[in-house]
């Protein structure tokens, strides 16, 4: 389908002013008014519909990692994991294992999922190394991959103004370094998610909180100059100023809003919330995303924790139905395998392939429906 992205190079050129070393600094700050004006001219319509799922590559087993990573208290005989709400059909697996990655992609494709949004924390860590393996296999399977950019530098604002400014500067420099690294190393990969040839990166709410909104013009324009190509950022949060600056908006997890709701109440909430989110993106011709979850239960890892009832699959069906009705560009599934929070659709001992089948029904309906 035709992508109607419009960029006015002259306007963009006005804001491509950067420090020589590629880091954030006074000399690199773009004119905010010109930057906002140029971003308003980045418009998207008729973006190919996709179903994408958040994917976690942080699981490790002794055979490949020498120890358990993110799996705690594994008892294979009793099918129990102390840090996991449910028990994977594959058991406590290792995300470095090519057989596991391929099985995940095969399952996802069979259920209408077009790609994974892979957790990514920092350069050359376990997630970065796993991403390389996932991309390699995804390319062979005609499956799309992008990253979920999780963090820069934690912010703990104090009373010392100078210290706060220095921390903000270090966070911006880290953001420039990390985003440049992702784009330079993976943006051109054949399996990396793209819109009209431009790589797409999802930005998690933690990153949005670690950086001031006013820092993004500087970060984006500096990375544009360093990378030398264009790219898209999808921000976490349905906020007007995010829709102005970024190429799309989404949210990771609606569990907090769904707490204690009946299925009917879930439908009422989703109908309004999804419509509002899509309208906010459409008003600025940005990529519209809405998120569906099968349920949620993090009580094994947090106290008192939060639980959202699955209602035998009705919660998930209801959210999918309202997501389709809201006509977004992309539906995001939280999650493929966040086992700690019990939001997984990956096959489990408790649910089998129930949630793959539900996903398959609605993902195909979504992609075949007209906007």
Per-residue confidence (pLDDT) for residue 157, from 0 to 100: 72
Q: What is the pLDDT of residues 82-141, one digit of tens each?
A: 999 999 999 999 999 999 999 999 999 999 999 999 999 999 999 999 999 999 999 999
Report the share of the chain in percent with pLDDT over 70: 92
Pairwise CA distance, residues 147 & 55, whole Å: 9
Q: In degrees rounded to 5, what are phi and psi of residue 227? A: -70, -35
Q: What is the pLDDT of residues 208-246, one digit of tens each?
A: 999 999 999 999 999 999 999 999 999 999 999 999 999
Average pLDDT of the chain is 92
Per-residue confidence (pLDDT) for residue 30, from 0 to 100: 83
21 has a pLDDT exceeding 60: no
Per-residue confidence (pLDDT) for residue 172, from 0 to 100: 96
Q: Which residue, 340, 167, 173, 153, is CA-closest to 255?
A: 340
Confidence category of residue 6, pLDDT binned at 50, 70, 90: very low
- Residue bearing the bigger pLDDT, 230 or 21: 230
3 has a pLDDT exceeding 80: no
Pairwise CA distance, residues 127 & 210, whole Å: 20
- Residue bearing the bigger pLDDT, 50 or 2: 50
Confidence category of residue 4, pLDDT binned at 50, 70, 90: very low
45 has a pLDDT exceeding 90: no
Q: Give the Å distances, CA to CA, from 282 to 87, 240, 326, 367.
A: 40, 11, 11, 18
Per-residue confidence (pLDDT) for residue 231, from 0 to 100: 98
Per-residue confidence (pLDDT) for residue 31, from 0 to 100: 80
Pairwise CA distance, residues 149 & 121, whole Å: 6
From the CB of residue 279, how many other CB atoms can be counted at a distance below 10 Å?
12
Per-residue confidence (pLDDT) for residue 23, from 0 to 100: 59
> What CATH class does 50-368 carry?
alpha beta
Taking the model in full, what pTM does it have? 0.92
What ranges make up the beta strands (E) of 22-139? 50-55, 74-75, 80-81, 115-120
Mean pLDDT of 176-181: 98
- Residues 339/95, Cβ–Cβ less than 8 Å: no
Q: Among the listed ranges 31-40, 87-96, 161-170, 219-228, which one has the minimum average pLDDT value?
A: 31-40
Round the CA-based radius of gyration of the chain to a whole number and report it. Answer: 20
Q: What is the pLDDT of residues 252-311, one digit of tens each?
A: 999 999 999 999 999 999 999 999 999 999 999 999 999 999 999 999 999 999 999 999
Confidence category of residue 33, pLDDT binned at 50, 70, 90: confident
2 has a pLDDT exceeding 80: no
Per-residue confidence (pLDDT) for residue 371, from 0 to 100: 56
38 has a pLDDT exceeding 50: yes
Q: Where are the domains of the chain?
A: 50-368
């Amino acid at each position: 389908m035709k992508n109607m992205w419009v960029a006015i190079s002259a306007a963009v050129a006005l804001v491509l002013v950067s420090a020589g070393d590629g880091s954030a600094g006074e000399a690199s700050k773009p004119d905010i008014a010109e930057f906002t004006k140029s971003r308003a001219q980045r418009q998207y319509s008729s973006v190919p519909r996709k179903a994408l799922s958040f994917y976690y590559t942080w699981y490790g087993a002794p055979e490949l990692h020498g120890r358990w990573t993110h799996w705690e208290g594994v008892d294979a005989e009793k099918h129990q994991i102390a840090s996991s709400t449910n028990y994977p059909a594959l058991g406590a697996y290792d995300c470095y294992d090519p057989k596991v990655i391929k099985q995940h992609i095969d399952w996802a494709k069979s259920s209408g999922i077009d790609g994974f949004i892979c957790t990514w924390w920092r350069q050359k860590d376990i997630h970065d190394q796993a991403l390389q393996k996932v991309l390699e296999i995804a390319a062979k399977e005609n499956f799309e991959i992008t990253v979920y950019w999780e963090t820069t530098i934690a912010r703990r604002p104090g009373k010392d103004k100078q210290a706060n400014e220095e921390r903000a500067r270090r966070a911006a420099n880290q953001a420039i370094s990390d985003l440049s690294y992702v784009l330079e190393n993976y943006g051109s990969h054949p399996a990396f998610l793209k819109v009209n040839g431009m790589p797409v990166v999802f930005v998690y709410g933690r990153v949005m909180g670690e950086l001031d909104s006013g820092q993004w013009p500087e970060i984006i324009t500096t990375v544009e100059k360093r990378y030398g190509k264009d790219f898209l950022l999808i921000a976490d949060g349905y906020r007007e100023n995010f829709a102005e600056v970024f190429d799309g908006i989404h949210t990771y997890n609606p569990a907090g809003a769904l707490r204690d709701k009946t299925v009917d109440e879930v439908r009422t909430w989703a109908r309004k919330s999804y419509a509002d989110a899509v309208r906010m993106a459409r008003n600025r011709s940005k990529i519209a995303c809405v998120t569906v979850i099968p349920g949620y239960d993090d009580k094994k890892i947090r106290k008192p924790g939060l639980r959202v009832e699955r209602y035998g699959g009705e919660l998930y069906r209801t959210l999918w139905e309202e997501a389709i009705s809201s006509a977004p560009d992309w539906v995001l599934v939280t999650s493929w395998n966040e086992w700690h929070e019990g939001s997984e659709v990956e096959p489990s001992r408790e649910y089998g392939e129930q949630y793959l089948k539900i996903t398959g029904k609605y993902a195909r309906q979504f992609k075949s429906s007209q906007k």
